[in-house]
Chain A
Amino acid sequence: DTEVTQTPKHLVMGMTNKKSLKCEQHMGHRAMYWYKQKAKKPPELMFVYSYEKLSINESVPSRFSPECPNSSLLNLHLHALQPEDSALYLCASSQVWGGYSNQPQHFGDGTRLSIL
Protein backbone atom coordinates (compact mmCIF):
# COMPACT_ATOMS: atom_id res chain seq x y z
CA ASP A 1 0.00 0.00 0.00
CA THR A 2 1.18 3.50 -0.75
CA GLU A 3 0.73 6.72 1.21
CA VAL A 4 -1.27 8.16 -1.68
CA THR A 5 -4.75 6.63 -1.76
CA GLN A 6 -6.81 6.49 -4.91
CA THR A 7 -10.44 5.45 -5.30
CA PRO A 8 -11.96 3.62 -6.96
CA LYS A 9 -9.38 1.02 -7.96
CA HIS A 10 -11.39 0.07 -11.03
CA LEU A 11 -14.06 1.97 -12.95
CA VAL A 12 -16.12 1.01 -15.96
CA MET A 13 -18.26 3.72 -17.48
CA GLY A 14 -20.16 4.52 -20.62
CA MET A 15 -19.34 7.43 -22.87
CA THR A 16 -22.28 9.45 -21.60
CA ASN A 17 -21.60 8.93 -17.90
CA LYS A 18 -20.17 11.40 -15.42
CA LYS A 19 -17.83 10.01 -12.78
CA SER A 20 -15.00 11.22 -10.56
CA LEU A 21 -11.67 9.80 -9.52
CA LYS A 22 -10.40 10.66 -6.06
CA CYS A 23 -6.95 10.95 -4.58
CA GLU A 24 -5.89 11.65 -1.00
CA GLN A 25 -2.56 12.10 0.76
CA HIS A 26 -1.73 13.02 4.35
CA MET A 27 2.00 13.58 4.02
CA GLY A 28 1.65 17.36 4.05
CA HIS A 29 2.62 17.56 0.40
CA ARG A 30 1.62 20.75 -1.38
CA ALA A 31 1.90 19.49 -4.97
CA MET A 32 -0.39 16.86 -6.45
CA TYR A 33 -0.45 15.39 -9.94
CA TRP A 34 -2.62 13.40 -12.31
CA TYR A 35 -0.96 11.09 -14.82
CA LYS A 36 -2.43 8.89 -17.54
CA GLN A 37 -0.71 5.61 -18.32
CA LYS A 38 -1.63 3.38 -21.25
CA ALA A 39 -0.60 -0.27 -21.31
CA LYS A 40 3.13 -0.80 -21.78
CA LYS A 41 3.70 2.96 -21.93
CA PRO A 42 5.19 5.36 -19.39
CA PRO A 43 3.03 7.77 -17.38
CA GLU A 44 2.08 11.03 -19.10
CA LEU A 45 1.56 14.12 -17.00
CA MET A 46 -1.95 15.62 -17.24
CA PHE A 47 -2.32 18.14 -14.42
CA VAL A 48 -0.27 19.62 -11.61
CA TYR A 49 -1.70 21.42 -8.60
CA SER A 50 0.64 23.44 -6.49
CA TYR A 51 -0.73 24.91 -3.26
CA GLU A 52 -4.23 24.06 -4.51
CA LYS A 53 -3.77 26.07 -7.70
CA LEU A 54 -3.57 24.54 -11.14
CA SER A 55 -0.02 25.02 -12.39
CA ILE A 56 0.03 22.86 -15.48
CA ASN A 57 -2.65 21.70 -17.87
CA GLU A 58 -0.73 19.91 -20.57
CA SER A 59 -3.39 20.53 -23.22
CA VAL A 60 -5.61 17.80 -21.82
CA PRO A 61 -9.12 17.60 -23.36
CA SER A 62 -11.83 19.42 -21.46
CA ARG A 63 -13.70 16.16 -20.83
CA PHE A 64 -11.16 15.78 -17.98
CA SER A 65 -11.70 18.36 -15.27
CA PRO A 66 -9.41 18.44 -12.21
CA GLU A 67 -10.33 19.85 -8.83
CA CYS A 68 -8.26 20.38 -5.71
CA PRO A 69 -10.65 21.06 -2.78
CA ASN A 70 -7.79 21.25 -0.26
CA SER A 71 -4.13 20.38 0.10
CA SER A 72 -4.88 16.71 0.84
CA LEU A 73 -7.46 15.96 -1.83
CA LEU A 74 -7.40 15.84 -5.60
CA ASN A 75 -10.29 14.89 -7.86
CA LEU A 76 -10.54 14.21 -11.55
CA HIS A 77 -14.03 14.67 -12.96
CA LEU A 78 -14.81 12.69 -16.08
CA HIS A 79 -17.53 13.45 -18.62
CA ALA A 80 -18.23 12.22 -22.13
CA LEU A 81 -15.05 10.17 -22.31
CA GLN A 82 -13.96 8.26 -25.38
CA PRO A 83 -12.82 4.61 -25.62
CA GLU A 84 -9.23 5.81 -26.14
CA ASP A 85 -9.37 7.34 -22.67
CA SER A 86 -9.27 3.85 -21.17
CA ALA A 87 -6.05 3.73 -19.16
CA LEU A 88 -4.56 3.64 -15.69
CA TYR A 89 -4.90 7.04 -14.02
CA LEU A 90 -2.21 7.69 -11.46
CA CYS A 91 -2.20 10.31 -8.77
CA ALA A 92 1.08 11.47 -7.23
CA SER A 93 2.18 14.01 -4.66
CA SER A 94 5.41 15.70 -3.66
CA GLN A 95 6.46 18.27 -1.09
CA VAL A 96 6.49 21.13 -3.58
CA TRP A 97 6.35 21.75 -7.33
CA GLY A 98 8.98 23.84 -8.99
CA GLY A 99 11.96 25.17 -7.14
CA TYR A 100 14.69 22.85 -5.97
CA SER A 101 12.92 20.65 -3.47
CA ASN A 102 15.05 17.54 -4.09
CA GLN A 103 12.04 15.44 -3.21
CA PRO A 104 10.49 12.76 -5.41
CA GLN A 105 6.88 12.20 -6.28
CA HIS A 106 4.99 9.47 -4.45
CA PHE A 107 2.43 7.60 -6.53
CA GLY A 108 -0.90 6.03 -5.67
CA ASP A 109 -1.88 2.60 -6.99
CA GLY A 110 -4.03 4.14 -9.68
CA THR A 111 -7.55 3.80 -10.97
CA ARG A 112 -7.93 1.47 -13.93
CA LEU A 113 -10.56 3.10 -16.13
CA SER A 114 -12.42 1.35 -18.93
CA ILE A 115 -14.71 3.26 -21.27
CA LEU A 116 -17.38 1.23 -23.03
Chain B
Amino acid sequence: EDKVVQSPLSLVVHEGDTVTLNCSYEVTNFRSLLWYKQEKKAPTFLFMLTSSGIEKKSGRLSSILDKKELFSILNITATQTGDSAVYLCAVEARGTSYDKVIFGPGTSLSVIP
Protein backbone atom coordinates (compact mmCIF):
# COMPACT_ATOMS: atom_id res chain seq x y z
CA GLU B 1 0.00 0.00 0.00
CA ASP B 2 1.27 3.45 -0.88
CA LYS B 3 2.23 5.57 2.10
CA VAL B 4 3.90 8.83 3.05
CA VAL B 5 5.47 9.26 6.47
CA GLN B 6 6.61 12.51 8.04
CA SER B 7 8.76 13.15 11.07
CA PRO B 8 8.68 14.61 13.55
CA LEU B 9 4.92 14.95 13.87
CA SER B 10 5.36 18.07 15.98
CA LEU B 11 8.22 20.36 16.79
CA VAL B 12 8.71 23.42 19.00
CA VAL B 13 11.69 25.67 18.37
CA HIS B 14 12.83 29.18 19.25
CA GLU B 15 13.05 32.00 16.76
CA GLY B 16 16.33 31.89 14.89
CA ASP B 17 16.70 28.13 15.08
CA THR B 18 17.16 25.98 11.98
CA VAL B 19 14.79 23.05 11.52
CA THR B 20 14.77 20.02 9.26
CA LEU B 21 11.52 18.26 8.45
CA ASN B 22 11.54 14.77 7.01
CA CYS B 23 9.33 12.98 4.54
CA SER B 24 9.75 9.38 3.43
CA TYR B 25 7.56 7.51 1.02
CA GLU B 26 6.74 4.11 -0.39
CA VAL B 27 4.79 4.42 -3.61
CA THR B 28 4.65 2.66 -6.90
CA ASN B 29 5.40 4.71 -10.01
CA PHE B 30 6.51 7.87 -8.23
CA ARG B 31 6.01 11.07 -10.19
CA SER B 32 6.70 13.99 -7.85
CA LEU B 33 6.93 15.07 -4.24
CA LEU B 34 5.41 18.30 -3.03
CA TRP B 35 5.71 20.35 0.14
CA TYR B 36 2.86 22.53 1.35
CA LYS B 37 2.47 24.87 4.31
CA GLN B 38 -0.92 24.93 5.98
CA GLU B 39 -1.87 27.51 8.56
CA LYS B 40 -5.51 27.96 9.40
CA LYS B 41 -6.86 27.57 5.89
CA ALA B 42 -5.62 26.45 2.51
CA PRO B 43 -2.37 24.56 2.03
CA THR B 44 0.01 26.85 0.18
CA PHE B 45 2.49 25.40 -2.26
CA LEU B 46 6.18 25.50 -1.34
CA PHE B 47 8.13 23.13 -3.59
CA MET B 48 7.69 20.44 -6.19
CA LEU B 49 10.56 17.96 -6.49
CA THR B 50 10.95 15.47 -9.29
CA SER B 51 14.71 14.93 -9.62
CA SER B 52 17.15 13.61 -7.06
CA GLY B 53 19.86 15.79 -5.61
CA ILE B 54 18.67 19.13 -6.94
CA GLU B 55 18.05 21.56 -4.13
CA LYS B 56 15.20 23.99 -4.47
CA LYS B 57 15.35 27.22 -2.51
CA SER B 58 12.92 29.97 -1.67
CA GLY B 59 14.22 32.51 0.81
CA ARG B 60 14.93 30.73 4.08
CA LEU B 61 13.32 27.50 2.89
CA SER B 62 15.02 24.79 0.90
CA SER B 63 14.22 21.22 -0.02
CA ILE B 64 15.88 18.26 -1.66
CA LEU B 65 14.77 14.84 -2.84
CA ASP B 66 16.59 11.49 -2.71
CA LYS B 67 14.78 9.08 -5.04
CA LYS B 68 17.14 6.23 -4.22
CA GLU B 69 16.49 6.37 -0.48
CA LEU B 70 12.89 7.55 -1.01
CA PHE B 71 12.90 10.64 1.16
CA SER B 72 12.91 14.38 1.11
CA ILE B 73 13.84 17.04 3.62
CA LEU B 74 12.56 20.55 4.09
CA ASN B 75 14.94 22.96 5.79
CA ILE B 76 13.95 26.26 7.35
CA THR B 77 16.77 28.51 8.53
CA ALA B 78 16.50 31.46 10.93
CA THR B 79 12.95 30.50 11.83
CA GLN B 80 10.36 33.18 12.55
CA THR B 81 7.04 33.00 14.39
CA GLY B 82 5.32 33.29 11.01
CA ASP B 83 6.78 29.90 10.09
CA SER B 84 4.47 28.28 12.64
CA ALA B 85 2.22 25.97 10.63
CA VAL B 86 1.63 22.39 9.60
CA TYR B 87 3.99 21.33 6.84
CA LEU B 88 2.50 18.71 4.55
CA CYS B 89 4.40 16.41 2.25
CA ALA B 90 2.48 14.88 -0.65
CA VAL B 91 3.49 12.38 -3.29
CA GLU B 92 1.97 12.09 -6.74
CA ALA B 93 2.11 8.63 -8.23
CA ARG B 94 0.82 6.93 -11.31
CA GLY B 95 -1.74 4.25 -10.46
CA THR B 96 -2.95 1.30 -12.50
CA SER B 97 -6.22 2.92 -13.48
CA TYR B 98 -5.78 6.42 -12.15
CA ASP B 99 -3.14 8.64 -10.65
CA LYS B 100 -2.90 9.30 -6.93
CA VAL B 101 -2.04 12.08 -4.54
CA ILE B 102 -1.04 10.82 -1.11
CA PHE B 103 -0.48 13.22 1.74
CA GLY B 104 1.62 12.54 4.80
CA PRO B 105 0.26 13.31 8.28
CA GLY B 106 2.10 16.62 8.45
CA THR B 107 4.62 18.14 10.84
CA SER B 108 3.21 20.74 13.20
CA LEU B 109 5.89 23.41 13.72
CA SER B 110 5.62 25.98 16.48
CA VAL B 111 8.17 28.79 16.58
CA ILE B 112 8.22 30.64 19.88
CA PRO B 113 9.77 34.08 20.38
Which A residues lie at the B interface, using CB under 8 A? 2, 4, 33, 41-45, 48, 55-56, 90, 97-98, 100, 102-110
Contact = CB atoms under 8 A, between A and B. Distances in A.
Interface of B: 31-32, 34, 36, 41-45, 48, 50, 88, 90, 94, 98-101, 103-106
Contacts of B45: 104-106
Contacts of B101: 33, 45, 105
Given A43-B103, A55-B98, A102-B48, A110 B34 contact: no
Contacts of B31: 100
B106 A104 contact: no
Given A102-B48, A102-B50, A44 B43 contact: no
A73 B48 CA distance: 25
B87 to A, nearest CB: 11
Nearest to A43: B103
Given A42-B105, A100-B31, A102-B48, A107 B98 contact: no
Contacts, number: 47
Interface centre among A42, A43, A48 (most CB of B within 10 A): A42
Contacts of B88: 42-43
Contact of A45 (B42, B43, B100): B100
A43 B44 CA distance: 13
A102 B32 contact: yes
A71 to B, nearest CB: 19
A106 B45 CA distance: 7
A97 B31 CA distance: 12
25 contacts: A2-B44, A4-B42, A33-B101, A42-B88, A42-B90, A42-B103, A42-B104, A42-B105, A43-B88, A43-B103, A45-B100, A56-B98, A56-B99, A98-B94, A102-B32, A102-B50, A104-B48, A105-B45, A106-B45, A107-B36, A107-B42, A107-B44, A108-B42, A109-B41, A110-B41
